[in-house]
Amino acid sequence: MRERPVGGGRYGDPMAARLGPDRSAALKLVAAMIALMWGTEVIDIAAGHRLDDYGIHPRDLAGLPEIAAAPFLHVGFGHLLSNTVPFAAMGAAIALGGLARVVLVTVIVAVISGLGVWLIAPSNEVHLGASGVVFGYATYLVVRGVLSRRLVEIAVGVAVVAIWGIGLLQGLLPQERISWQAHLFGAIGGVVAAFVLAKRREPAARPGSAA
């Protein structure tokens, strides 16, 4: 009699069977975040863009929780679509490192990006959109490759620069009606996340081993 692994059978999750449950859950989380963005935008348009008021209001203490809401809000479907493609591609690349990794990177980037906007952006504007997280994903993937020196991760970083590098650099420049502050601090957040997770990745030294 043989045992059959749970999840890989006829009625199991084929993605989990191929990638493992951790990677599968991470990819599903990225897909769920994208679905939430699109669902929120549909509701926002139906409600006359009232949800946009939940974007970040700089230096408004009562609005600090809006840092969590802002990445899921967009100014129309054009804005949303421009963020969806890189978010999906780079989010999937990070998700292949596991659920904890994509959660930590997303949280670190979103918090640093949002706080940066809250601190220095003009107070007469509302800031929303996932582009800060996109910039953070990009710098995370590039710096991760530099720190790990693993060929696959270096190749991913090079691909990010080749595909989105010019657009990312342009997005860091001050522009009217563009939240460059979110881009700048999102990019900083990605670097921070790469260093934080690189330290978590280092194997602990064995007792008695040479330094």
Q: Any idea which residue has 């591609």 for tokens?
A: 89
For the segment 114-142, what is each residue's pLDDT rounded down to a tens digit?
999 999 999 889 999 999 999 999 999 99
- Tell whether the model's pLDDT for residue 1 goes beyond 70: no
At residue 201, the pLDDT reads 66
pLDDT average, residue stretch 59-81: 94
Residue 54: phi and psi, rounded to 5, are -90, 10
At residue 206, the pLDDT reads 42
CA angle 82, 87, 89 (to 5 degrees): 110
pLDDT confidence bin for 151, thresholds 50/70/90: very high
**Cα–Cα distance, 142 to 148 (Å, whole number):** 10
Rg (CA), the chain: 19
The domain 14-200 is placed in CATH, from the list 1.10.10.10, 2.60.120.260, 2.60.40.1120, 1.20.1540.10, at: 1.20.1540.10
At residue 63, the pLDDT reads 84
- Tell whether the model's pLDDT for residue 205 goes beyond 60: no
pLDDT confidence bin for 199, thresholds 50/70/90: confident
At residue 202, the pLDDT reads 54
| Poorest-pLDDT segment among 10-24, 117-131, 147-161, 181-195 | 10-24
- Tell whether the model's pLDDT for residue 15 goes beyond 80: no
**Cα–Cα distance, 57 to 123 (Å, whole number):** 6
